[in-house]
Amino acid sequence: MIRIKYFILAFICLLLTGCKTEAAHEFPLEKRYWDTSDYDKAILELRFGYKDDEKKPTFDNPEQMLIVEKLTDEGNFKIVLKDEELGMKHRNRVATNFFNHWKDMNQIYQATDRKDKYVYDIEMLAVWQFGLGLQLDYFKLGNEEIIESADDPNSIRVKNSVNLNKKTLISNYTIYLDEVNNEDAFTEAGKSKFAKGIDVYFSQLIQLYPDANYSGVKNKAELMLKKSDHEKIKLSLVKLIELIDSKKKDV
């Protein structure tokens, strides 16, 4: 009888421990949009709240996919940065906070296995692409504030500051293409998602700044084209090169 009681007690403790583990990871999933305070907590939990052998939220896990969907939802920053009823300085502060949070987000899904394959390639790329979208608004708002607050918006100093920001943005985008060097680390789905990222975000970049200097991007794309063995990635790189060349003809 005593053994049965101990067994029941141990079983209850095991259940409670299991429940505690499930409830240990808390995210504000009830909110339509996450603000930077929500990102503070979510990033901290995702980076340091999971054990080494514990799988992090992924898109293919129905029970946890909402977490990574919320984390990489561009609507979280667009709802503020696109709202022209809000002040320019306020939106820039929010944009800067999101940009800093995104840099921390990049550490969440970088893990590789013993075969040097990305453990979370789809999620890692979703974070990457969240940042590409964010930077379009971040640098655009920054330049608008520089121009708006300047005594002489047409001065050499202002133009140099604006152009420097554009160069930084383009340089940051070029880093994305470096992932072609890690092509073998991706799943087939990951390679397709990576290629789509080139199609979507580089097109938006060039549309936003059609007169910018994309020689560095073109050179990188040409080098990566020689290294890639994946048809979708190669096609995306070819389209990017052609898009850059077409803008040169328009000038």
Q: Please tell me the predicted confidence (pLDDT) of residue 248.
A: 72
58: burial class by Cβ within 10 Å (0-12, 13-18, 19+)?
A: middle
List Cα–Cα distances, 249 to 98, 148, 159, 221, in angstroms.
36, 31, 24, 19
Question: Who's near 46: CB < 8 A, 6+ residues apart?
Answer: 56, 57, 67, 71, 108
Question: Who's near 204: CB < 8 A, 6+ residues apart?
Answer: 133, 136
List Cα–Cα distances, 110 to 40, 69, 149, 175, in angstroms.
19, 17, 39, 15
Query: How do the residues of the chain divide into helix, strand and coil, expressed in percent and rounded to 5?
Result: 70, 0, 25
Amino acid at site 88: M
Total number of domains in the chain: 1
Instruction: Map residue 248 onto helix, strand or coil.
Output: helix
CA 219 to chain centre: 24
Residue 134 parent element (H or E): helix 121-149
pLDDT tens per residue, range 61-118 = 999 999 999 999 999 999 999 999 999 999 999 999 999 999 999 999 999 999 999 9
pLDDT tens per residue, range 150-166 = 999 999 999 999 999 99
The domain of 92 spans 2-250
CA 122 to chain centre: 11
List Cα–Cα distances, 9 to 17, 218, 234, in angstroms.
12, 67, 60
pLDDT by residue for the chain (251 residues), tens only, comes to 445 444 444 444 444 444 433 457 899 999 999 999 999 999 999 999 999 889 999 999 999 999 999 999 999 999 999 999 999 999 999 999 999 999 999 999 999 999 999 999 999 999 999 999 999 999 999 999 999 999 999 999 999 999 999 999 999 999 999 999 999 999 999 999 999 999 999 999 999 999 999 999 999 999 999 999 999 999 999 999 999 999 876 65
Amino acid at site 55: K
